[in-house]
Amino acid sequence: MAPEVSVCIPAYRAVEFIPATLRSVLASDHPDFEVVVIDNASPDGTARAVQSFTHDPRVRFVASTEHLGLADNWRRAMDHCHGSYIKLVCADDLIHPQSLSAQAAVLRAEPGVSLVASRRHVIDGNGYVLAKASGLHGLVGRHTVRDVARQSVRYGINPIGEPGSAMFRREDYEAVGGWDGTRVFNMDIDLFLRLLSRGDLVGLRDSLAAFRVWPQSVSGSHSDAQFQENVRFLREVRTEYGIVADDRLLEAAAAASWKAWELRRRAWAKMPRLWSRPLAV
């Protein structure tokens, strides 16, 4: 019988962090979930690290011999999930023990909701908290797709957060075509907006995940190409959802969000840690 929830973890060169990620997922209080780990032909010890967890019957490991691009690997990971509800967790992030149960409860009770998201902590490479309960800018509670689009265009960001903060229905994911490989920087918010064409967002006030910022992470640095992709995406969102914002305002919002993120990263690298010990997993 298929589990209610699937947690899929696409992994590449993840030997340093994936044990903590798996411990955080397996500590979940939800009674019915599976964990699917897809190793994207990592040349390090990722496969050995994951195999040490496969004694747990909830863990399923798929080793790939062919290395794929990010979007294709995420799609491959999703293809191996059997649950009705899906959470994709990047191999260096963490989730709270109540994350699966809290988010699944909303989807179970609210058929008109297609996406549930929570706030999250930001942590460094050692697991120390850099920022508490961030994300969901103006989106706590129940909101429509246009609300989310408006926040994206107004602030030039993904206002929901990373995939580890969210949960959605597998049937909705399949209906909207899944992760779009033509996106890189905006791949998560692009999917979220398409999912929200099928139902509302519920934003949970509690912080139920942790997003890791470290120099080698995919989101650890920005490039001009990513900035231009973000501007193009925001223009598409503005047109699709009828958001009032001219090009100057839109580009200014994107630039401001870019600058703020870089300033935060630099400040986090220098600031005292908020907790005296790493976030528990």
Whether 281 is in a domain gets the answer no
Note every long-range contact of 264-273, with CB atoms under 8 Å and residues 24 or more positions apart, other chains counting. 264/131, 265/213, 265/220, 268/122, 268/124, 268/130, 268/131, 268/213, 271/130, 273/124, 273/128, 273/129, 273/130
| 203 Rama class: left (phi>0) / alpha (psi -120 to 50) / beta | beta
Give yes or no for a contact between 140 and 196, defined as CB atoms under 8 angstroms apart: no
Alpha carbon distance 103, 57 (integer Å) = 23
3-state secondary structure of 121: strand
- Per DSSP, helices labelled H in 16-60 are 18-26, 46-51
Q: Output the DSSP codes for 133-178.
A: EE--TT--EEE-HHHHHHHHHHHTS-SS--GGGEEEEHHHHHHTTS
The CATH number assigned to the domain holding 172 equals 3.90.550.10
Alpha carbon distance 197, 114 (integer Å) = 8
Whether 149 is in a domain gets the answer yes
Report pLDDT for 281. Answer: 45
Alpha carbon distance 214, 279 (integer Å) = 15
Alpha carbon distance 134, 222 (integer Å) = 20
Whether 106 is in a domain gets the answer yes
The structure tokens 């080698």 sit at 216
Whether 9 is in a domain gets the answer yes
Alpha carbon distance 66, 85 (integer Å) = 27
Whether 275 is in a domain gets the answer no
Whether 77 is in a domain gets the answer yes
Whether 278 is in a domain gets the answer no
pLDDT below 50 — which residues of the chain?
218, 281
pLDDT in tens, 1-33: 899 999 999 999 999 999 999 999 999 999 999
Whether 30 is in a domain gets the answer yes
Q: What is the CA radius of gyration of the chain?
A: 18
Domain containing residue 209 = 5-270
The pTM of the full predicted model, rounded to 2 decimals, is 0.91
Question: Which residues are bridge partners to 168 per DSSP?
Answer: 86, 115
Give yes or no for a contact between 40 and 64, defined as CB atoms under 8 angstroms apart: yes
Give yes or no for a contact between 15 and 44, defined as CB atoms under 8 angstroms apart: yes
Domain count of the chain? 1
